[in-house]
A and B are shown apart, each in its own frame.
Chain A
Amino acid sequence: EAGVTQFPSHSVIEKGQTVTLRCDPISGHDNLYWYRRVMGKEIKFLLHFVKESKQDESGMPNNRFLAERTGGTYSTLKVQPAELEDSGVYFCASSQGTDFSLAKNIQYFGAGTRLSVL
Chain B
Amino acid sequence: AQTVTQSQPEMSVQEAETVTLSCTYDTSESDYYLFWYKQPPSRQMILVIRQEAYKQQNATENRFSVNFQKAAKSFSLKISDSQLGDAAMYFCAWVYYAGGTSYGKLTFGQGTILTVHP
- Hey, what's the 0/1 contact readout for B28-69 against A, CB within 8 Å counting as 1? 000001010101001111110010100000000000000000
- Give the CA-CA distance A9 to B43 in the complex, in Å: 10
Is B103 a contact partner of A56 (Cβ separation < 8 A)? yes
Which chain A residues border B19 with CB–CB below 8 Å?
none
Partner of A42, one of B33, B37, B97, B110: B110
The size class of the interface chain B forms with chain A is: 20 to 34
- Give the CA-CA distance A93 to B93 in the complex, in Å: 14
28 contacts between A and B (CB under 8 A): A9-B42, A33-B104, A33-B105, A35-B106, A40-B110, A41-B110, A42-B4, A43-B91, A43-B111, A44-B108, A48-B104, A56-B105, A91-B45, A93-B106, A95-B104, A98-B101, A99-B101, A100-B52, A100-B95, A101-B97, A107-B47, A107-B104, A108-B44, A108-B47, A109-B44, A111-B43, A111-B44, A111-B45
Q: Which 6 A-B pairs have the closest CB atoms?
A: A109-B45, A43-B108, A98-B104, A100-B33, A98-B102, A42-B110
Chain B residues with a Cβ under 8 A of chain A: 4, 33, 35, 37, 39, 42-47, 50, 52, 91, 93, 95, 97, 100-111
Chain A residues with a Cβ under 8 A of chain B: 3-4, 9, 31, 33, 35, 40-45, 48, 55-56, 58-59, 91, 93, 95, 98-101, 106-112
